[in-house]
Structure 1
Amino acid sequence: LGPPRHPPAGSGIIEQSTEAQILVTGIKVVDLLAPYAKGGKIGLFGGAGVGKTVLIMELINNVAKAHGGYSVFAGVGERTREGNDLYHEMIESKVNVDPHENNGSAAGSKCALVYGQMNEPPGARARVALTGLTIAEDFRDKGQDVLFFVDNIFPLHPGRL
């Protein structure tokens, strides 16, 4: 995959809607207290073990099942075990298709997972977010609704590269 693509010419800001639409997440506390805007950007910040990844998993599951949308999860600097657990949890919740039970095909999956493991060089980990962005842009260009997640942007901080 190459660098992120730019939108086609003529899709400028003039053609974008100024009307805000709410993304119904299916998580009552989020929808009531801090609703997410479609096309918006959200940051989830917190210490280790407070449930950020659990919330992301629930969002991916709800959007895939209730809205038929796609998600892209870019794990930057993830532990190998965490990436493996997330992969298997996606299969168990039927968000993704198990390729071992589908003749090697993952067709029908609703979430793309991209990982840069902790043991990889910093440059490779930094490119994981851009790879995930390129995949999300491809879904967008095909007219699909897509959620794009980057888990743990701390390794992308300039002082860490």
Structure 2
Amino acid sequence: MLGAISRATAGALKAVKPTLNPALLQGEASKAVAGFTINKHYAAKAAPKGKGNGRVVAVIGAVVDVQFDHDLPPILNALEVEGRSPRLVLEVAQHLGENTVRTIAMDGTEGLVRGQVVADSGNPIKIPVGAETLGRIINVIGEPIDERGPIDTDKSAAIHADAPEFVEMSVEQEILVTGIKVVDLLAPYAKGGKIGLFGGAGVGKTVLIMELINNVAKAHGGYSVFAGVGERTREGNDLYHEMIESGVISLKDKSSKVNFLFNSRF
């Protein structure tokens, strides 16, 4: 679940990164850099959509084993349990042999029994993308959960993607000015990097993130994606309404600057 929603966060809002000047990459250096590409390949071929049906053979918490007669779905494909409401999507994680795949459920598996029919979607999990998702709350499979109706967009993207090539990355080292004096002075953040905020319960981690989202939107005109993984429902609700009150999320127009993704607890 944590891995899936992290990948969903990366696909929800794709930032445009500056590219390097090709003139700077000359001779053998350009050949070497251009040679570093990362592509994912899997042995199994995708089953024809609508024809790859299997049946549940084992349920162990969030782990579900599904057996197929033929056309084994490739790793990372999305499967859906038929005749179940709300939807239950499974992501293929392993091939176990004997036409059986091991999957990870994206929601609770209560009531799931052996023999239930599972359909292969033929694709990885896809979520809506674009400006229409700003100000909305969606879950890991791309469904809106903010009771504001469907997301009005036809654009979607898989939560799995190849890493960008080296020539597409910026090599400049810059500091992200957060507007929080104690952070900018004592522990400045690097643009494009990763930062860990560690602390006990109730010490202010979520409050700091709220302030960062607000400052990035107002001072830099940027966009943020907030992923709530195991977050308390109360804190998620407070964060959403705080963003509305501060103007970062607008319910009247399309000027919102943040997108929220939460797991099944919400």
TM norm structure 2: 0.39
Q: Which has the higher strand share?
A: 2
**1:18-29 alignment, distance < 5 Å:** 18-29=171-182
**1:27-42 alignment, distance < 5 Å:** 27-42=180-195
| Matched positions, count | 110
Aligned to 1:114: 261
Partner residue of 2:203 out of 50, 62, 73: 50
Query: Highest Rg: 1 or 2?
Result: 2
Hey, which bits of structure 1, 4+ residues long, moved more than 6 A? Answer: none
Q: Distance in 2 between matches of 1:33 and 1:70?
A: 25
State the secondary structure of the residue aligned to 1:49: coil
Partner residue of 2:244 out of 87, 91, 100: 91
State the secondary structure of the residue aligned to 1:77: coil
Q: Distance in 2 between matches of 1:46 and 1:109?
A: 29
Cα deviation, residue 114, structure 1: 1.0
Aligned to 1:3: 159
- Does the aligned pair in 2 maintain the 1:22–1:36 contact within 8 Å? yes
Aligned to 1:155: none
State the secondary structure of the residue aligned to 2:216: helix
The residue identity in structure 1 corresponding to 2:189 is Y
Q: Which has the higher helix share?
A: 1
Structure 1 unmatched ranges of 5 or more: 120-161
State the secondary structure of the residue aligned to 1:78: coil
- Tell me: CA distance 1:114–1:16, structure 2 relative to 1, closer, same or farther (3 Å): closer
- 1:63 and 2:216 are equivalent in the alignment: yes
Deviation string for 1:106-158 (max 9, x for gaps)?
62110101111437xxxxxxxxxxxxxxxxxxxxxxxxxxxxxxxxxxxxxxx
- Does the aligned pair in 2 maintain the 1:79–1:117 contact within 8 Å? no
Cα deviation, residue 16, structure 1: 2.9
The residue identity in structure 1 corresponding to 2:211 is E
Structure 2 unmatched ranges of 5 or more: 1-126, 128-157
State the secondary structure of the residue aligned to 1:59: helix
Aligned Cα root-mean-square deviation (Å)? 1.8
State the secondary structure of the residue aligned to 1:114: strand
Cα deviation, residue 18, structure 1: 2.8
Percent identity between the two aligned chains:
71
Cα deviation, residue 80, structure 1: 2.0
The residue identity in structure 2 corresponding to 1:25 is T
Cα deviation, residue 91, structure 1: 0.2
TM norm structure 1: 0.63
Cα deviation, residue 79, structure 1: 2.3
State the secondary structure of the residue aligned to 2:230: strand
- Does the aligned pair in 2 maintain the 1:80–1:117 contact within 8 Å? no
Higher RCO (CA < 8 A, seq sep 6+): 1
